[in-house]
Amino acid sequence: MHRRTRLRALLTTVLATLTVVPLLAAGLTGGAAEAAGTATRDGDPTVVTPRNFTGLAFDQCHTQSQKTMNAWWKASPYQAVGVYISGASRACRSQPNLTATWVATQAAKGWRILPITLGPQASCNPRFPRYKNDETVIAKPGKNGRYDQAYEQGVGSASHAVNTASDLGIAAGSTLWYDMEGFNLGSKHCRESALSFLDGWTDRLHELGYVSGVYSSASSGIKALDGARQNRPNRFALPDRIWIADWDGDATTSSEYISDDGWSDGARMKQYRGGHDETWGGVTVNIDSSYLDLGTGTTAPEEASVCNGTRIDFQDYPALSPTHTTSSGTTVTPSASRVKALQCVLKLDGFAGGTVDGVYDDDLVAVVRSWQRHHGFSMSRTWSRENWVAALSEYAQGTRLKFGDGSNQVRRLQRTLNAVSDKIHTPVTGVFLASTATAVKQWQRRVGLDATGVVTAAQWTMLRTGQRS
């Protein structure tokens, strides 16, 4: 059987395996355990990374020293780090700091690791090959019109990346990222061979039990992948996750080069700023900055336990009602993902049992009314924005928060602010940066407070009553 056919046949089985691997870490507790995803391989500790995470990452070609990692963990807003583990085309072939011990140490601290491979590059990229002994993607089609040689190059790169990752203690279930630098989409052979290469990369990673990620320029590799997704959905094995290089300075996952529905549910990250110096804890590094929104996002231990993986991080929390028909005859059905989040939030507040199923039925109406009565709201079949604000802030500790803070309390604040109005949006990262300060000031102005950008204990009390104007 042709290798490609065999890989396709195994895909369903492998994807089922991917859902099991992260459960190896289930016996651990706390944020660091979830971050590390520590498992066991022949008695040795291994890491499943990055798992579910929303927040900021930095990458720099050379793996940083432990001194730098310690200083940045303590002082910086970053909680994830990109590391070039393999690929003959990477500028940092020598990585003296990159060892299995280094990986295990960072994971134990809570760092999410993003393993990157930079191997063969698109044939029309003028900057490659970088060395005499690295390759470009073979852009010659076969008699069948397919780019089988490019596909096999992708398979080989994935195999090498998995071997390196395994040696470093990065376990199956982890996302491995291929760095396909920007190229000319107008060159058919260049574009199609690059897509075929990434097809082989994804197929082989799935066969070996890893998650496929691809980093590329928004206007070239990412645009090409999204075009294939929309127009030729069965032609290529598409990556599970994408890393968009779009230096627009916007710490979100949005980009004008990709449609909103592409990799939209916890499968995107964006490099929003290119090379620049940052200093944290007295240590300066030249980095690229990225915003991640992967899996179900980052949750506190109690949220993970009660919600069982349900996504509760959104940039808008609209009012919800049971499915109904309007006076014009239009049937309105609430968003299942938001209903699941509501069911989870109610459970966190001790007001719901049963299944988190995303269905706004009479049973959920009864729980909603009970919650509203207990919290002093008028009882209704509708879950309002005021209800969201009160409920999302209910289980927060109400501590004073300001620019630069990072914690689960910040994450709860960000959710609450996003519920206030469809005009307020801040990424739910757990890090209090400029966008969160802006959102705080917007809320403070709405309720008649001085727009300080600092949240006090008294203001938490206001939020718990649902005050949004």
CATH number of the CATH domain containing 335 = 1.10.101.10
Least confident of 46-55, 311-320, 373-382: 46-55
Pairing mode, if any, of strands 175-180 and 53-59?
unpaired
Question: 240 with 340, same domain?
Answer: no
Question: 46 with 188, same domain?
Answer: yes
Nearest to 338 by CA among 364, 360, 308: 360
Structure tokens at 329: 């005859």
CATH number of the CATH domain containing 168 = 3.20.20.80
Q: Please count the residues of the chain.
A: 469
Report pLDDT for 353: 67
Question: 212 with 342, same domain?
Answer: no
What number of other Cβ atoms are within 10 A of residue 235's Cβ?
14
Least confident of 40-54, 125-139, 235-249, 259-273: 40-54
Question: 286 with 319, same domain?
Answer: no
Report pLDDT for 17: 37
Which residues 6+ apart lie within 8 Å of 192 measured at CB?
Answer: 139, 141, 147
Question: 338 with 361, same domain?
Answer: yes
Q: DSSP letter string over 343-366?
A: HHHHHHTT---S---S---HHHHH
The confidence band for 309, taking pLDDT boundaries of 50, 70 and 90, is confident
- Does 412 fall in a domain? yes
More confident residue, 90 or 29: 90
Domain region containing 7: 3-298
Residue 266 near residue 295 (C-beta atoms within 8 A): yes
Tens-digit pLDDT profile for residues 400-437 = 898 878 778 999 999 999 999 999 999 888 888 889 99
Question: 147 with 30, same domain?
Answer: yes
**Predicted confidence (pLDDT) at residue 15 exceeds the cutoff of 60:** no
- Residue type for 129, please? P
Question: 212 with 354, same domain?
Answer: no
Question: 280 with 362, same domain?
Answer: no
Report pLDDT for 185: 94
**Predicted confidence (pLDDT) at residue 340 exceeds the cutoff of 70:** yes
Q: DSSP letter string over 183-228?
A: --TT-HHHHHHHHHHHHHHHHHHHHTT-EEEEEEEIIIIIHHHHHH
Domain boundary (298, 332, 365) is at 298
More confident residue, 29 or 325: 325
- Does 307 fall in a domain? yes
Q: DSSP letter string over 318-334?
A: --B--SEE-TTS-EE--
Mean of pLDDT values over 198-207: 98
Domain boundary (298, 323, 347) is at 298
Mean of pLDDT values over 338-366: 90
The confidence band for 44, taking pLDDT boundaries of 50, 70 and 90, is low
Percent of the chain having pLDDT more than 90?
72
Mean of pLDDT values over 439-461: 96
Domain boundary (239, 265, 298) is at 298
Question: 215 with 308, same domain?
Answer: no
The confidence band for 31, taking pLDDT boundaries of 50, 70 and 90, is very low
- Does 469 fall in a domain? no
The confidence band for 6, taking pLDDT boundaries of 50, 70 and 90, is very low
Question: 275 with 317, same domain?
Answer: no
**Neighbouring C-alpha atoms within 13 Å toward the C-beta of 306:** 21
Least confident of 92-96, 190-194, 334-338, 406-410: 406-410
Report pLDDT for 20: 31
Number of separate domains in the chain: 2
Residue 228 near residue 238 (C-beta atoms within 8 A): yes
Report pLDDT for 40: 46
Tens-digit pLDDT profile for residues 211-235 = 999 999 999 999 999 999 999 999 9
Question: 150 with 69, same domain?
Answer: yes
Mean of pLDDT values over 448-455: 96
Q: DSSP letter string over 361-386?
A: -HHHHHHHHHHHHHTTPPP-SSB-HH
Structure tokens at 256: 């004008």
- Does 230 fall in a domain? yes
Residue 126 near residue 47 (C-beta atoms within 8 A): no
More confident residue, 369 or 309: 369
**Predicted confidence (pLDDT) at residue 322 exceeds the cutoff of 60:** yes
Please give the Cα distance from 469 to 467 (Å, whole number).
Answer: 6
Q: DSSP letter string over 73-135?
A: HHHSSEEEEEEEEE-TT-S----TT-SHHHHHHHHHHTPEEEEEE--SB-TT-TT---STT--
- Does 227 fall in a domain? yes
Mean of pLDDT values over 298-325: 87
Mean of pLDDT values over 434-457: 96
Report pLDDT for 258: 95
Mean of pLDDT values over 239-264: 94
**Predicted confidence (pLDDT) at residue 37 exceeds the cutoff of 90:** no
Mean of pLDDT values over 75-88: 93
